[in-house]
Structure 1
Amino acid sequence: MKGNGYASNATVQSALRAFTRFLKENYLIKDLRKVEQCHVKGFAEQLNDRYERGEISASTVQNYLSPVNVAMENARLDTKCRVEGVREAGLPTRTGIATQDQSATLNAHKNALQSVSERLGIQLNLQRELGLRLKESCLMDAKQALNQALTKQNVRIEQGTKGGRPREVPIHAYSQIEALQRAVMVQGNDSSLIPEHQTWAQYQSQVYRELTSQSLHCHQERHHFANAMYERLMGVKSPVQSGISHQSHHAYLASVLSISKSEAKVRDEQVRLCVAEALGHSRISITNNYLG
């Protein structure tokens, strides 16, 4: 197979093995001609998960998706399954430091809500308001979460988390309560927000099909949450939203907040740790992919 200019032959073979295994395990697909773009997006989502867990580097993520795109073009003789890593799937740049804001704008969010199913719209709201991953927003018991939000001012996220690592997301705005109230209505008597007649893999595939025609992906809602939380706690927009480079942002913070550069660095690290924990991470470095 033609190389992609970045990955070695060994990496290409490893990427294709990972993709075929993903197709078999999640969709029971063994023939590449039966693959749709939603399946490639699902694979990209898995790569993003592995990156955020620290299993693979940002450059490896890109090197894994590129040969899959080439393989699908060769198998189908078209580009209908092609997925642009950063723009369409929210994958990190090769450096792991965001240089463009990936947050879903309010207009993009509202437009998506008008086009997708009510259930998916509810889940997009939860992702935006609570910083949830797609799987977390689907497996959540909204009734339990709403009760926690009202009585404890936080929501404990347990189902669908990375490595089963639970976390608590603070409740600070009524819009978060409203998102949970709407989710309770859609959930009804079910135990989660996945339709009772579907498996997670089936529903995930449906979600990606619904979002194919939209100008946003699920990770963009998480990017919005992360950047909004940073601004709320720091009092200044994130580097990527301020148009400031990662290397220059401590000096920028010091200037805007009228504090020393060393104090700006300490505050920035404290806020980034809060953001990382709310997103379900213990590594501050992961926030570079969201905040710049």
Structure 2
Amino acid sequence: MARNFGIGTRDLAEAGRQFLSRGVAQKNLSFASSATVSARWRQFAAYAKSHGVGSLTTVTPDLVRAYGRELSAKVAAGKMSAAYAHNLVSATNTVMRATPAPWQPVQAVADCGIGRRSFVRTMAPAGLDPERFAVARSALLAAQNARGAALAGLARHLGLRSKEAALLNAKRALQEAERHGHVTITLGTKGGQSRTVPITSPHQVTALREAGQVQGAHHNLIPQNMSLRQWQKPLGQIRNTIRDVTGKGLHDLRAAYACERYRQLTGHDAPVVAGRMVASRAADYAARLRIGEELGHHRVDVVSSYVGGRA
């Protein structure tokens, strides 16, 4: 049997990405999901390589179970959330199901011993620390990735998803921010539903201005000669750089925005930062409602995955 099922590359991580790309072409997977799964698959690929496995054809459920048990140990040690460990195992299953060979999915709980995931955040966002965020941006700039640094700034200071940040016309958004005190997000949103993000900090204006400079004469951060599909590979590199510095990815920067807004709205640290809910229940609920709207969610309970629970 050909290495990596004849996909055209001998690299395990790249082979997985290409099978995911086929899934996008067949409309079985979205561009965003493909990029996210690919970034998580790379972690398994590194683990497999360290155990002498370098081809998709030799990846076995036993290897994935061993990988999952290692993740379970990290969860138990407080080095990783159960939700993220579940996502890593799920990404491996997704890639293996995309190959021509039959695949029996590995169960994160039953096979790997990973605890059931909770959608209530229990660790403060790494991006909330200004110094760690600054180091992450510096790492991107050192790698001559000004687009990545600009995108990270939009995620951190306006709470944008990666696709929303990439498609934002930052120059036009800056004009709107200066004239009206808010920015309207319309492109790349879930369900195509627009929303407004208030301008409450000079950091937001700086982030928009920097993104506008990187954008240049184009209308967004994606290079003019690159499609949204092609953008997924450099986006994965941006995620990896941020994760290398902060231990978390781009989505964690949205959580940092949410925690910052929580403090602005209530005058108290978010529960995940303080270790408990300090604000009154009425103030807490009102803040969650507002933050949910600004992040593009329509359920208050989802905000717990950004700022922590209400207990």
SS in 1 for 2:123: coil
1:280 paired with 2:296, answer yes
The code of the aligned residue for 1:102 comes to P
Matches within 5 A, 1:1-292: 22-26=20-24, 40-41=38-39, 65-69=88-92, 94-104=117-127, 105-116=129-140, 117-213=145-241, 214-215=244-245, 216-244=248-276, 249=277, 252-253=278-279, 264-292=280-308
Aligned equivalents of 1:74, 1:159: Cα separation in 2:
31
User: Partner amino acid for 1:41?
Assistant: A
Does the 8 Å contact 2:151/2:162 carry over to 1? yes
Letter paired with 1:136: E
Distance 1:26 1:71 in 2: 12
| Identity fraction in percent | 28
Provide the secondary structure at the position in 1 that maps to 2:124: coil
**After superposition, what is the alpha-carbon deviation per residue over 1:141-187, rounded to whole angstroms, capped at 9, x for unaligned?**
11110110011000000000001010000011222111111111111
Change (3 A) 1:189 1:41: same
**1:153 & 1:142 partners in 2: Cα distance?**
14
Tell me the secondary structure at the aligned position of residue 156 of structure 1.
strand
Equivalent pair of 2:266/2:287 in contact (CA under 8 Å): yes
Distance 1:164 1:181 in 2: 25
Q: Check whether the contact 1:186–1:193 (CA below 8 A) recurs between aligned residues.
A: yes
Moved more, 139-148 or 178-187: 178-187
Judge conservation of contact 1:39–1:205 (CA < 8 Å) in 2.
Answer: no
Please, which runs of 5 or more residues in structure 1 have no aligned partner?
1-18, 29-35, 45-58, 76-84, 86-92, 254-263
Gaps of 5+ in 2: 1-16, 27-33, 43-81, 99-107, 109-115
TM-score, normalising length from structure 1?
0.67
* Distance change >3 Å, CA 96–CA 192, structure 1 → 2: same
Structure 1: which amino acid aligns with 2:124? D
Flag the structure with more relative contact order, 1 or 2, with Cα contacts below 8 A and sequence separation at least 6: 1
Q: Is the 8 A contact 1:158 1:164 kept in 2?
A: yes
CA contact (8 A) 2:83 2:119 kept: no
CA distance in structure 1 between the partners assigned to 2:150 and 2:85 by the alignment: 30
Distance 1:158 1:129 in 2: 17
